Amino acid sequence: DQQVKQNSPSLSVQEGRISILNCDYTNSMFDYFLWYKKYPAEGPTFLISISSIKDKNEDGRFTVFLNKSAKHLSLHIVPSQPGDSAVYFCAASGSSGYALNFGKGTSLLVTP
């Protein structure tokens, strides 16, 4: 029973444009959300997070938006760069943070 869903397995964007990756969740007890980035042959690397008391968190080119009423979050990358090409995982947890529930990932390709 997948509680975190990333419905787009892949996304292709031109360099310099905005990449928008989407994530939906079903468990209303989740209150901490994270995005991880994964290159081939490497483990997931933490990218950015947001707690449920906020609706936006920004870090450089990366912004995460949270819509609690819709149980939806999104990651915006502006401007996209070829080095951003990777698999992006959305994850969510309850208040303690121990058990991360991951989505299946979205493979982003940024073309020159």
Partner 1 sequence: DAMVIQNPRYQVTQFGKPVTLSCSQTLNHNVMYWYQQKSSQAPKLLFHYYDKDFNNEADTPDNFQSRRPNTSFCFLDIRSPGLGDTAMYLCATSRVLAGGVTDTQYFGPGTRLTVL
Is 98 or 112 the residue whose CB approaches partner 1 more closely?
98
Asked if 16 interacts with partner 1 (CB under 8 A), we say: no
DSSP 33: E
Binding positions for partner 1, 43-102, rule CB under 8 A? 43-46, 49, 89, 95-102
Structure-block tokens of residue 82 = 């070829």
Given candidates 41, 53, 60, 70, which one binds partner 1 under the rule CB under 8 A? 41
The residue among 34 and 80 lying less far from partner 1, judged by its C-beta, is 34
Nearest one of 3, 1, 2 to 94, comparing CA atoms:
3
Q: Are 106 and 9 in contact (CB under 8 A)?
A: yes
- In the bound state with partner 1, the residue whose beta carbon lies nearer, of 10 and 111, is 10
Indicate the DSSP class of residue 76.
E
Rounded Cα gap, residues 39 and 54, in angstroms: 28
Binding site for partner 1 (CB under 8 A): 2, 4, 9, 34, 36, 41-46, 49, 89, 95-105
